[in-house]
Amino acid sequence: MAAPPRLARPECYGTAAMHDSICWDTNLIRRYDMAGPRYTSYPTAVQFNNGVGSFDLLHALRDSRKAMRPLSLYIHVPFCANICYYCACNKVVTKDRGRALPYLERLEKEIELIACHLDPHQTVEQLHFGGGTPTFLSHDELRRLMGHLRKHFNLLDDDSGDYGIEIDPREADWSTMGLLRELGFNRVSLGVQDLDPDVQRAVNRLQSLEETRAIVDAAHTLQFRSVNIDLIYGLPKQDPERFARTVEEVIALQPDRLSVFNYAHLPERFMPQRRINAAELPSPAKKLEMLQTSIDQLTAAGYRYIGMDHFALPDDELAIAQEDGTLQRNFQGYTTHGHCDLIGLGVSAISQIGDLYSQNSSDLNNYQQSLDSNQLATLRGLQCNEDDRVRRAVIQQLICEFQLDFADIERAYSIDFRNYFSEVWPQLQQMARDGLIDLTEERIEVRPSGRLLVRSVCMLFDHYLAQQNTQRYSRVI
């Protein structure tokens, strides 16, 4: 498939009146494509410090219990049988399946220590297993873990919850999918990244289209509610024509959602990336071409741009939530369950309970030793102050809805928006002159040509960003 010619003028997708319309403006992208946070939280995890420990977490759990807030559980399974060179996740690469059981035993202890501080009637609206590779666990181990969760938390039994798991199609088959459905999972997210064999060899992830299709077919047959597929552009040996073929083949699988991520090559931070030949990485211009072509293809196939690399079919819950103004964002990405207290379980897992962020140790030995001593593995975190809450609300609204009414923030936090953010007003005015946003005395609206760059707008409201080295972040596009 040949890539469409690049145009100097903005190229728009969708109807201007539609909430999901976006425009491709090369000049605007070149001006505002900078490195910055993805804002799965504000403040971001970079601001976490050692002043937060297990006592703070227990205090927050008590408040959650008193308020009877619903819950979202995240379970981190760090093990992978093989290393993918692009990966920036917290993982343990091992062929030894026997390492799973000792970890599972500590995870069960953590579940018990957390659950006893919550009310048994607090419902778990959302559950997500991530990794690593969650299906590194055997079928018996998965049964045991889900049984332990059901014993200590109020998991829903009527399939009404959003219970998802990340799948490596090389580590699953029809029987695995049947087991997951039986255990209560109704959403799956599949890592694909790219289907071209040369690209796969360059990143050490050989995965055929047939392997992927088998898992997607199983998910559809077994009536999983949603299938998400992850793709990455900017990997070694990729070019626009090859990546367009991957996108075309993935669209044919009919996933409900797609994530099309920009690969951030940061070998100084992530050791596996040092095995990637930097000379084989596509140029910035080729990366832009890959993204624009992908947007062409996905829009033509009926997918809506949700924001921040995410696309969904119009009847998907994320698209509907964005329409009715209830879409939110947390450490699990875009979600319809941002009102829940998020409890992270496992090594490196992050919790967000009220105004407290807390994170477990990212070192597997330290995590397991803490639980062996009947202690939570909380190592760091952050307690939000009033300024954090204001800025979090602003960033959340912009990144989810592409618009912000100042009166909403003023009512909620008793501030005068223009005065409170006077230091960024000139930059907002410049963004308005450039066509990134519409700016009035009452509101900000991100224009269709600015929606791909919404992170750049959010960065203006980040109080901490000026103190940070932005090279630790991926670029916006």
Please check if 166 is assigned to a binding site: yes
Helix 240-252 to helix 284-300 angle, to the nearest 10 degrees? Answer: 30
**Is 80 within any annotated ligand binding site?**
yes
Any known ligand binding at 205? Answer: yes
Angstrom distance (rounded) from CA 61 to CA 118: 6
Strand partners, 335: 328
Q: Is 135 annotated as a binding residue?
A: no
β-bridge mates for residue 232, sequence order: 261
User: Is 230 annotated as ligand-binding?
Assistant: yes
Q: Is 88 annotated as a binding residue?
A: yes
The H-or-E segment that residue 127 falls in is strand 123-131
Please indicate if the annotation marks 17 as binding a ligand: no
- Measured CA to CA, the distance from residue 162 to residue 188 in angstroms comes to 10
86 is in an annotated binding site: yes
Sign of the Cα torsion 455, 456, 458, 464 reads positive
DSSP, residue by residue, 401-463: HSEEEHHHHHHHHT--HHHHTGGGHHHHHHHHHHTSEEE-SSEEEE-GGGGGGHHHHHHTT-T
Nearest to 288 by CA among 40, 1, 38, 4: 4
User: Tokens for 364?
Assistant: 């597997």
Residues β-bridged to residue 230: 191, 259
Q: Is 164 annotated as a binding residue?
A: no
- Cα separation, 49 vs 310, in Å, equals 30
Chain Cα centroid distance, residue 205: 21
Q: Which residues contact 185 (CB under 8 A, 6 or more apart)?
A: 127, 129, 163, 164, 165, 224
Q: Known binder of ligand: residue 193? A: yes
Selection from 189, 179, 184 nearest residue 153 by Cα: 184
CB-CB neighbours of 8 under 10 Å: 8
Residue 87 assigned to a binding site:
yes
**Coil, strand, or helix at residue 228?**
strand
DSSP lists the bridge partners of residue 22 as 13
Q: Is 133 annotated as a binding residue?
A: yes
Q: Which residues are annotated as a binding site?
A: 74, 80, 84, 86-88, 131-133, 166, 193, 205, 230, 264, 350
Q: Which residues are annotated as a binding site for S-adenosyl-L-methionine?
A: 74, 86-88, 131-133, 166, 193, 205, 230, 264, 350
Q: Which residues are annotated as a binding site for [4Fe-4S] cluster?
A: 80, 84, 87
